[in-house]
Amino acid sequence: GEVIVEPLIRTTISDDRGEEPRYVGYAASELCEKGYGIEDVIGLLWNKKLPSKEESEIIKRIIMISADHGPAVSGAFGSIIAACAGIDLPQAVSAGMTMIGPRFGGAVTNAGKYFKYGVKEYPNDISGFLSWMKQNVGPVPGIGHRVKSLKNPDKRVKYLVDYVKNHTTLHTPCLDYALEVEKVTTAKKDNLILNVDGTIGCILVDLDFPEYSLNGFFVLARTIGMIGHWIDQNNQNSRLIRLYDYLINYAVKEEREV
């Protein structure tokens, strides 16, 4: 007789059973033919919506501007150490990827989440929002940078803010709120600026991307950079990295007699 099997998984984004993959119903080749870009594929697979031309231009800029930030940052450094240890590309990239978390690159989702919360619960009360964050969350995700500050502004942030505010019609309540928060935090400490994670998170909330998709933008963009660092180290035949003693503060006890 007929055997009825319950489906194991349910998908709502893509289907490869025809001649080619369809992303939320759109054939991949048709998207290419009609001039859509990777930013539109992101819109389809992450938000099940084809972004407008204006939205696509913003998404494209977010990816371009956060693709890499040099070799010194946690992610790239992790991939470089792995590349120098002879690790293959996927594993070296995942070594860098492992660094993406609440302090480095992985604050996008929570920045979007909490600034959105501030807009709703503390609309005209930034200090109320900051006290709530201090009591309930800790450091404000999306605020603060190790080297960028009022004196050494982050050009990426300035560019994105200027682009969405002066070159698009996007309504930006979340970004505007975060910029007000930045005024208060930088008055306390020069480096408590709205950082790249915070800026991206707010713009994506204003673009109506789902909260839990937001870290995906940094992960996707930085993958491009980490692959670049792996290729670069391999091209140079880089040697195994071992830290010199002077880079380590050996705070252990002197040799002891038993």
User: Which residue ranges make up the site for ligand Q5B (CB under 6 A)?
Assistant: 69, 73, 102-105, 107, 139-146, 189, 191-192, 195-198
Instruction: Give the nearer residue to ligand Q5B in terms of CB position, either 92 or 107.
Output: 107
- For ligand Q5B, the nearest residue by Cβ is 144
* Least spacing, CB of residue 26 vs ligand Q5B, in Å: 32
Q: How far is the CB of 69 from ligand Q5B (least distance, A)?
A: 3
DSSP string covering the chain: -PPP---S---SSEE-SSSS-EETTEEHHHHHHTT--HHHHHHHHHHSSPPPHHHHHHHHHHHHHTS---TTSHHHHHHHHHHHTT--HHHHHHHHHTT-BTTTBTTHHHHHHHHHHHHHH-TT-HHHHHHHHHHHTSSPTTB--SS--SSS--HHHHHHHHHHHHHS----HHHHHHHHHHHHHHHH-TT--B-HHHHHHHHHHHTT--GGGHHHHHHHHHHHHHHHHHHHHHHTTPPPP---GGGS---SPPP---
Kindly tell me which of 43 and 75 has the beta carbon lying closer to ligand Q5B.
75
Q: In angstroms, give the least distance from the CB of 103 to ligand Q5B.
A: 4
44 or 143: whose CB is closer to ligand Q5B? 143
Query: Which residue, 102 or 123, is less far from ligand Q5B as judged by CB?
Result: 102
Closest separation in Å from C-beta 81 to ligand Q5B: 16
